[in-house]
Each structure stands twice: as structure tokens, then as C-alpha cells.
């Protein structure tokens, strides 16, 4: 890798990528201060099923379900910015003239925007439509065709005047230090940002694999140690645990550590979380991340249990295309490993509006009004970012 000398800001980088019609991802890992960004200079972002250990460094952005419009997307780190003070790092093999073109863009004063795609659907789920779907789901669960299904919805909010994605990213990073905070903008795919509380698959520098069962939701209380969980949430989260264990079992993996469930805070909410870790070197399983990714997604935290009838119910009754919501995203083969998160507490940026996405786990005990409320609370994570920018 070669390096250039001048230090560019995150704002310069993002603006240059948009002006040059390039794909860009900006992210900050939980509980760290360092914002990172990568830009792909050449064309071609669609990719197949991710193979983590063989991947070059880049950023994955994958939908809930791959379709003709929404495909697994990979932003190769042709240029990498480690947000702090270092100049950008240029990957080996990037043609000199491509890099020169990009430097010109970095030095130019162009208007900051973001990549958008024409809206393919209208987003107007009403409370009535959502609660009717929840009622139907509860009936099917009581009839034992499935145990749990996660139903979601969207809401449009106007973007504040003069909206800047980087200012929004910075507001989000400051407001949610424990979250995986990201901003992804890809030609033909669109622009998404979010503050996710949920790891799907993570592999650190020491080759330790980490996934989590995150489910059960209630508004945060002053003292988390006083949190009381109802049987409904305890069971809902236990289903996600069982699902993860069933994936380990399929791979005949018996050596893992399990911690939890514990109460964790995510913005204005609390969840129950169990962490699972595996030392990949100790168990001689170098492809564990790739294999688990293929088995896990979509997990019962965002789809349901069993997977097949829950998915069928979602596709038949949710009434819209989830697109990249509840898909997964994050850096792969980066300086600190591969860290894929579930795309939750997120929004998609259109020209002058944001589309907010949120869902809730439905079980036999679900109350449709409370589930609607829960999606409202989850949307508050992104609404707060828009409010911070309107002040
Ligand atoms: C579906 C979402 O969140 C998921 C569902 C949860 C639940 O049903 O309690 C909790 C955390 C997430 O795993 C969302 O944020 O949209």
C-alpha cells in the first residue's frame, strides 16, 4: 500500500466520492473513537455470498433478501481513511490515474450530496395495517405454524434543511457511543445510515469469533440493574439463543463460551443479550465466520422461528420490500478484522426525505398496540439524529 501526504477530512472524502460517482462507506466501531472510511474507485459493487477469509479489505452491505434490485454489495477499500490524523492509504494495484482523478476531487470544492435511487415503493404503513398483520401473526403462532415472527414497517420523515450526511454521522456517533455507527452511499444502491446494537458475525485480530442473541425490548430505566423482564421477552430472546446454538450444532462445533443473557442499553431502549465466542485457532476452524454468516442470516432476531414459515409470513403480510433494512453491513478483512452488524436503527436517505425502518418480535403473547409502540421507540434512534440537526 502507498500513502499520500495531505490529510483530508471525512467531509472531503465523502464529498469527493459523491462528486466522482464512487461508492463510499464511513463507520465507527462500538466503544471506540476512530472513524474509518473507504472508497472504491473502479466500477462493480455486486457480489455473491461473502467469503470472509478470502476477501480483500472493504465494506459489505447486504440486503435482507437478495433480489433483482437489492444485491449483496461490496465496497473495495481502494482508498482507506483512518479518520484520525493519518493521510489516506491507497491499496496496491489501484491505477495511478484513478488516484490522481480522486485527489483532484478531494481538492475541489463541490457541493456535498449523496447517492439516491428512485423510490420503487410507497411507504405509508398505517398503524391499522401494522396491527392487523400482528394480529394475524399471533393467530398463526397460536395455531403453531411458527413460534415467532418479526414484523417491521417504515416511516417517512422530512430531512432538515441543509442536511449533511457527515454532520448526521457525527451527531449519531456522539449520541450512540455503544453502537456500530455507519453511513454507506453507493451509486445505484442509495444511501443508508444507522446505529446498530447487534453483531451478526465478528472476527477480531486474534481470530476470536463473536455473535450475539439480542432480543426483548423496553424503554431504558434509570438504573439498568433494576430492569425487570417479562416472560414474553425472556422467551423471545431465548429463541434467538436456541437458533444460534442450532447453527453451531450444524457445524458440529461444541467449544464456545456463552455469557448472558444480560440487560444492555441501546439508545433509548434496553435489550436482553447473550454473547457467544469461539477461539477459531483453538478449534482449527478458519472458515467459521463465513459458515456461520451463511447459516445465521436472517436470524430469528429479525426474521423468526422456524425461519421458513416466518420468512413466508413476512413476505406475504409486511406489505413492503425491506431492501437493506435487517440485512447486514460492516468492514471485512480490515486492520481490526471483520465486523458485520445487523442493519437496524437505520434510515435510507432520499433527495429530501429519510425513510426510517423498525420491527418488533411477535410471539403468542404479543399485544398489537404495544408492538406498534415498540417500532415507534426504535425509530426514535434515527429521529433523534434528525432532530439534533434541525436545532
Ligand atoms: C427488529 C429490530 O430489532 C430487533 C428486534 C428486537 C425485539 O424484537 O425486541 C430487539 C433487538 C433486535 O434484534 C429493529 O430494531 O428494527
| 182-212 tens-digit pLDDT | 999 999 999 999 999 999 999 999 999 999 9
Topology at the third CATH level for domain 127-160+214-390: Anthranilate synthase (3.60.120)
Q: How far is the CA of 214 from the centre of ligand 1 (A)?
A: 7
Query: Is residue 298 reached through a cis peptide bond, with omega within 30 degrees of 0 on the bond before it?
Result: yes
Atom of ligand 1 nearest to the CA of 240: 13
Q: Is the CB of 345 under 6 A from ligand 1?
A: yes
Domain boundaries, the chain: 127-160+214-390
pLDDT of residue 2: 47
Cell of 391: 436545532
pLDDT of residue 35: 94
Q: Is the CB of 344 under 6 A from ligand 1?
A: yes
Q: Is the ipTM of this complex over 0.95?
A: yes
112 secondary structure, DSSP code: -
Q: How far is the CA of 361 from the centre of ligand 1 (A)?
A: 7
Atom of ligand 1 nearest to the CA of 342: 13
Q: Is the CB of 153 under 6 A from ligand 1?
A: no
* Rounded alpha-carbon distances, angstroms, from residue 117 to 11, 379, 381: 22, 22, 24
Q: How far is the CA of 10 from the centre of ligand 1 (A)?
A: 30
Q: Is the CB of 302 under 6 A from ligand 1?
A: yes
- Choose the residue to mutate in 150, 194, 220, 347 for probing ligand 1, maximizing ligand atoms within 8 Å of C-beta: 150
Catalogue the E-assigned strands of 280-370: 304-305, 328-332, 338-342, 346-349, 353-362
Q: Give per-residue pLDDT as tens, 42-68.
A: 999 999 999 999 999 999 999 999 998
Going by C-alpha positions, the residue among 149, 177, 172, 158 that lies closest to residue 32 is 177
Q: What span, in angstroms and rounded, lies between the C-alpha atoms of 72 and 49? A: 7
Q: What span, in angstroms and rounded, lies between the C-alpha atoms of 82 and 27? A: 10
Atom of ligand 1 nearest to the CA of 266: 11
Atom of ligand 1 nearest to the CA of 299: 13
Instruction: Sheet with 2-3: list strands edge to edge.
Output: 2-3, 89-90, 79-81, 35-40, 23-28, 180-186, 190-196, 346-349, 353-362, 148-158, 304-305
Q: Is the CB of 214 under 6 A from ligand 1?
A: yes
pLDDT in tens, the chain (391 residues): 444 556 788 899 999 999 999 999 999 999 999 899 999 999 999 999 999 999 999 999 999 999 988 999 999 999 999 876 677 889 999 999 999 999 999 998 877 799 999 887 766 688 999 999 999 999 999 999 999 999 999 999 999 999 999 999 999 999 999 999 999 999 999 999 999 999 999 999 999 999 999 999 999 998 988 899 999 999 999 999 999 999 999 999 999 999 999 999 999 999 999 999 999 999 999 999 999 999 999 999 999 999 999 999 999 999 999 999 999 999 999 999 999 999 999 999 999 999 999 999 999 999 999 999 999 999 999 999 999 999 7
pLDDT of residue 5: 58
- φ and ψ at residue 341, rounded to 5 degrees: -115, 155
For helices 307-317 and 127-142, angle between their N-to-C axes, nearest 10 degrees: 150
Cell of 9: 477530512
Q: What span, in angstroms and rounded, lies between the C-alpha atoms of 197 and 265? A: 9
Q: Is the CB of 361 under 6 A from ligand 1?
A: yes
Q: Is the CB of 194 under 6 A from ligand 1?
A: no
Residue having the nearest C-alpha atom to atom 2 of ligand 1 = 359
Q: What span, in angstroms and rounded, lies between the C-alpha atoms of 257 and 275? A: 8
How many of the other CB atoms lie within 10 Å of CB of 229? 17
Q: Is the CB of 106 under 6 A from ligand 1?
A: no
DSSP codes joined into one string, 159-190: PPTT--HHHHHHHHHHH-TTSEEEEEEETTTE
Q: Is the CB of 332 under 6 A from ligand 1?
A: no
Q: Is the CB of 271 under 6 A from ligand 1?
A: yes
Q: Is the CB of 213 under 6 A from ligand 1?
A: no
Amino acid at each position: 500500500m502507498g500513502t499520500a501526504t495531505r490529510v483530508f477530512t471525512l467531509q472531503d472524502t465523502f464529498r469527493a466520492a459523491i462528486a466522482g460517482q464512487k461508492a463510499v462507506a464511513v463507520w465507527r466501531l462500538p466503544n471506540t473513537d476512530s472513524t474509518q472510511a473507504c472508497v472504491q474507485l473502479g466500477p462493480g459493487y455486486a457480489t455473491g455470498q461473502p467469503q470472509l477469509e478470502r476477501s480483500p479489505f472493504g465494506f459489505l452491505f447486504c440486503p435482507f433478501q437478495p433480489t433483482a434490485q437489492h444485491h449483496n454489495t461490496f465496497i473495495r477499500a481502494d482508498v482507506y481513511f483512518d479518520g484520525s490524523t493519518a493521510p489516506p492509504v491507497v491499496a496496491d494495484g489501484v491505477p495511478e490515474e484513478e488516484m490522481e482523478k480522486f485527489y483532484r476531487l478531494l481538492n475541489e470544492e463541490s457541493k456535498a450530496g449523496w447517492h439516491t435511487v428512485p423510490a420503487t415503493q410507497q411507504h405509508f404503513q398505517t398503524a391499522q395495517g401494522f396491527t392487523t398483520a400482528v394480529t394475524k401473526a399471533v393467530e398463526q403462532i397460536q395455531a403453531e405454524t411458527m413460534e415467532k415472527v418479526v414484523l417491521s414497517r417504515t416511516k417517512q420523515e422530512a430531512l432538515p434543511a441543509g442536511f449533511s450526511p457527515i454532520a448526521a454521522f457525527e451527531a449519531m456517533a456522539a449520541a450512540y457511543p455503544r453502537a456500530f455507527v455507519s453511513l454507506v452511499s453507493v451509486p445505484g444502491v442509495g444511501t443508508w445510515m444507522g446505529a446498530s446494537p447487534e453483531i451478526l458475525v465478528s472476527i477480531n485480530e486474534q481470530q476470536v469469533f463473536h455473535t450475539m442473541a439480542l432480543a426483548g425490548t423496553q424503554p431504558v430505566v434509570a438504573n439498568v440493574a433494576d430492569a425487570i423482564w417479562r416472560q414474553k421477552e425472556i422467551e423471545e430472546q431465548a429463541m434467538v439463543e436456541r437458533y444460534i446454538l442450532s447453527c453451531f450444532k450444524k457445524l458440529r462445533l461444541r467449544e464456545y463460551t456463552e455469557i448472558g443473557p444480560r440487560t444492555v442499553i441501546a439508545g433509548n431502549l434496553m435489550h436482553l443479550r447473550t454473547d457467544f465466542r469461539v477461539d477459531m485457532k483453538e478449534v482449527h476452524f478458519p472458515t467459521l465466520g463465513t459458515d456461520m454468516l451463511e447459516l445465521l442470516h436472517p436470524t430469528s432476531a429479525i426474521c423468526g422461528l422456524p425461519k421458513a414459515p416466518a420468512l413466508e409470513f413476512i413476505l406475504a403480510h409486511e406489505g413492503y420490500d425491506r431492501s437493506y433494512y435487517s440485512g447486514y453491513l460492516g468492514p471485512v478483512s480490515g486492520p481490526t478484522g471483520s465486523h458485520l452488524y445487523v442493519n437496524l436503527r437505520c434510515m435510507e436517505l432520499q433527495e429530501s426525505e429519510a425513510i426510517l425502518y423498525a420491527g418488533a418480535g411477535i410471539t403468542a403473547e404479543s399485544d398489537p398496540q404495544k408492538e406498534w409502540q415498540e417500532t415507534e421507540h426504535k425509530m426514535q434512534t434515527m429521529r433523534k439524529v434528525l432532530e439534533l440537526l434541525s436545532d
